[in-house]
Amino acid sequence: MDPSDQKHFTVVDYVIFAVLLAASMAIGLYYALSGGRQRTTQEFLMADRSMGCLPVSLSLIASFQSAVAIIGVPAEIYTHGTQYWFIGCAYILGLFIPAHVFIPVLYRLRISSAYQYLELRFSKTVRICGTLTFIFQMVIYMGVCVYTPAFALNTVTGFELWGTVLATGLVCTLYTTLGGLKAVIWTDVFQTVVMFAGQLAVIVVGVLRTGGVSEVWRKVWEGNRIAGLDLNPDPTERHTFWTLGVGGIFLMLSLYGVNQAQVQRYLSSRTEKEAVRSCYMVFPSLQLALALSCVMGLVMFARYCGEDHSDKLGSSSRDAMVIYFVMDMLQGLPGLPGLFVACLFSAALSTISSAFNSLATVTMEDLIKPHFPAMTEARATLLSKALAMSYGLLCLAMAYLTHLMGDSVLQVALKIFGMVGGPILGLFCLGMFFPWANSIGAVAGLGAGLTVSFWIGVGSIVTRTSGVKPLPPDCRVALLSNDTTAAIQTALSDVALSRPSGLKRFYSLSYMWYSGFNCFTVILVGLIISFMTGRKVLTHVLSPQRSSPPHHKESNGQVGTSQEETESFLPEAPFVEYETAV
Ligand SMILES: O=C(O)CCCC[C@@H]1SC[C@@H]2NC(=O)N[C@@H]21
Ligand code: NA
């Protein structure tokens, strides 16, 4: 991109960005110096289980609404139209099921790591497998989240790339390490507000500069960006109501039902009711977040009518074009470009800090504490902080790796969730809904699920055949009579989608089905292996009906549940050993 076209920042913009980092830092310091001063893991990792539903719900949004969505969704809408908006239909069951199935089971166990459930239900091995899979998923996802805003900004504005990544990563690591989960949740609240404000500013200015609402509507309507209800049942069709509205439910369950970052927020709520309420409160905010990013894509389309600006942006993807659009809109309005940069980094920081903290929690609870039961609270807290710091640095390394991935960032993130989050969801479903599943079946199921998911995922990258054709690129085309446009569309679609067959068809499964498909693979294989290896029938499973396990008052008034108390809560009924199936 030639320097003359680069959009520059005024001093005000840099100041606003610095204020964002400073405010986040201040919140971190406040929680490092107040309350219990982060001296126990209960406080550092679980916020003393004292949180209310408002901060928890905003923090739940912030955890999986990163710069990837802020940049990737408008690029998606600009290129392919509003079909993606139907993922909003998945939020209904995608939040209702976590609120009434996953939260009751996990909250009553008074655990810190979601994967402790897997040991209680299956075995320590299954727990370790779940934890390692989660760590793998979040480390890659973190890299994408750190890299996205820095790369996009650098392409368009010359904003110092690695300096930004470093500044963001270090500030985030610091306040997460100093202030623990309380700081992470309250910075999430602050950053979510900044995130919405930034997107709203771009939309308002964009609409005003593109001739007003009616003009924008006319252009997006004639640019056939307003998608109808596409009920095409073909699972290889990238975005349809089924892949987004139904496949998206499994994506949501893998994130809002069993992902440690979200489970930890439910567990940090002061009561189970608060946790359920926070889950309900996510719904409107998530719909708002989705609407803002979709509308931003529509305004961008109305502004550029699908023209290709690669001459200005060089080879960079549509993602970078979103930043180009924002700078084009906000140029000359001092402070607004800075607000949008703050919005972008708020989205990134709030996701990364949640990832650090949840990674430190599971590493501590699942991988370290079981081997050092006698470790003192002080040492455990110090170690947790060291872990948060080291994950922070690892994340910077992952950012560089992202540099090497292709694809639109939204697609990369959603594929990661589908490929890795899907099998973990399958593991929890196997445990909660299938009493006759046993540990061997669980491990085998997870292994099969991950194998199949990477087979499809890698296969789809290698055989990138049906590269989805964007809709007609230009408004002018759309201004033709509808049947001409339809004729062009048909011609395009016939040529583009040379119907893949056999294995190629398998590879071209929509990535929005990865979560559901992999979840079912784990369950299916898990059940088959369980039947083959002799069934242990649980007379009752850890289900919502059960009362909470016994717990005792610690000396400092804290409520705790010791390991033996949890075990006493376990289905103590004797396992019934069946003859191994012939
Ligand atoms: O924004 C990201 O970091 C990842 C992309 C969005 C992840 C999923 S999509 C469904 C749900 N809605 C969100 O805003 N985030 C999650
Ligand atoms: Na975020």
Give the closest residue (by CA) to ligand 1 atom 8. 64
Residues flanking ligand 1, CB < 6 Å: 64-66, 68-69, 87, 145, 251-252, 255, 286, 289, 351, 410, 413
| b/e map 226-237, b = 16+ CB within 10 Å | ebeeeeeeebbb
The pLDDT score that the predictor gives to residue 551 is 60
DSSP 472-505: -S-HHHHHS-HHHHHHHHHHHHHHH-----HHHH
The atom number, within ligand 1, closest to the CA of 65 reads 1
Residue 31 within a domain: no
Residue 551 within a domain: no
Q: Residue 581's pLDDT band (boundaries 50, 70, 90)?
A: very low
Structure tokens at 581: 């199936």
Distance of CA 64 from the midpoint of ligand 1 (Å): 5
Which of 57, 60, 65 for a ligand 1 pocket mutation test, highest count of atoms within 8 Å of Cβ?
A: 65
Residue carrying structure tokens 């900004």: 153
pLDDT in tens, 431-456: 999 998 999 999 999 999 999 999 99
DSSP 442-482: HHHHHHHHHHHHHHHHHHHHHT--SPPPPS-S-HHHHHS-H
Residue 516 within a domain: no
| Residues, beta carbon < 5 Å, ion ligand 2 | 62, 65-66, 347, 350-351
Residue 218 within a domain: yes
Distance of CA 429 from the midpoint of ligand 1 (Å): 22
Structure tokens at 233: 């049942």
pLDDT in tens, 89-102: 999 999 999 999 99
Residue 168 within a domain: yes
Kindly report the CATH number assigned to the domain that includes residue 408.
1.20.1730.10
DSSP 328-345: HHHTTSTTHHHHHHHHHH
- Proximal ligand: closest to the CA of 148: 1
Contact 113, 260 (CB under 8 A): yes
Q: Residue 251's pLDDT band (boundaries 50, 70, 90)?
A: very high
Contacts of 306 (CB under 8 A, 6+ apart): 78, 79, 223, 470, 471, 472, 473, 474, 475
Which of 58, 64, 86, 199 for a ligand 1 pocket mutation test, highest count of atoms within 8 Å of Cβ?
A: 64
- Proximal ligand: closest to the CA of 348: 2
Dihedral of the CA atoms 427, 566, 530, 432 (nearest 10)?
-50
Structure tokens at 444: 């085998």
Number of independent structural domains in the chain? 1
Residue 135 within a domain: yes
The pLDDT score that the predictor gives to residue 553 is 62
Residue 483 within a domain: no
Single out the residue of 444, 451, 453 nearest to residue 422, CA to CA.
453
Domain span including residue 151? 42-412
Give the closest residue (by CA) to ligand 1 atom 14. 65
Distance of CA 392 to the CA centre of its chain: 18
Choice between 168 and 339, residue whose per-residue pLDDT is larger: 339
Return the bridge partners of 51, or none: 269
The atom number, within ligand 1, closest to the CA of 286 reads 14
Single out the residue of 48, 429, 18 nearest to residue 258, CA to CA.
429
Residue 244 within a domain: yes
Contacts of 426 (CB under 8 A, 6+ apart): 445, 446, 449, 518, 519, 520, 521, 522, 523, 526
Residues 155-164 have a mean pLDDT of 73
Distance of CA 439 from the midpoint of ligand 2 (Å): 35
Distance of CA 129 from the midpoint of ligand 2 (Å): 27
Q: What is the mean pLDDT of the chain?
A: 83
User: Around Cβ 368, how many Cβ atoms within 10 Å?
Assistant: 15
Give the closest residue (by CA) to ligand 1 atom 10. 252
Choice between 465 and 323, residue whose per-residue pLDDT is larger: 323
Dihedral of the CA atoms 64, 140, 354, 289 (nearest 10)?
-20
Residue 582, class by beta-carbon neighbours within 10 Å (0-12 exposed, 13-18 middle, 19+ buried)?
exposed
DSSP 72-95: HHHHHHHHH-GGGGGGGGHHHHHH
pLDDT in tens, 532-568: 987 555 544 444 444 455 566 665 555 666 655 555 5
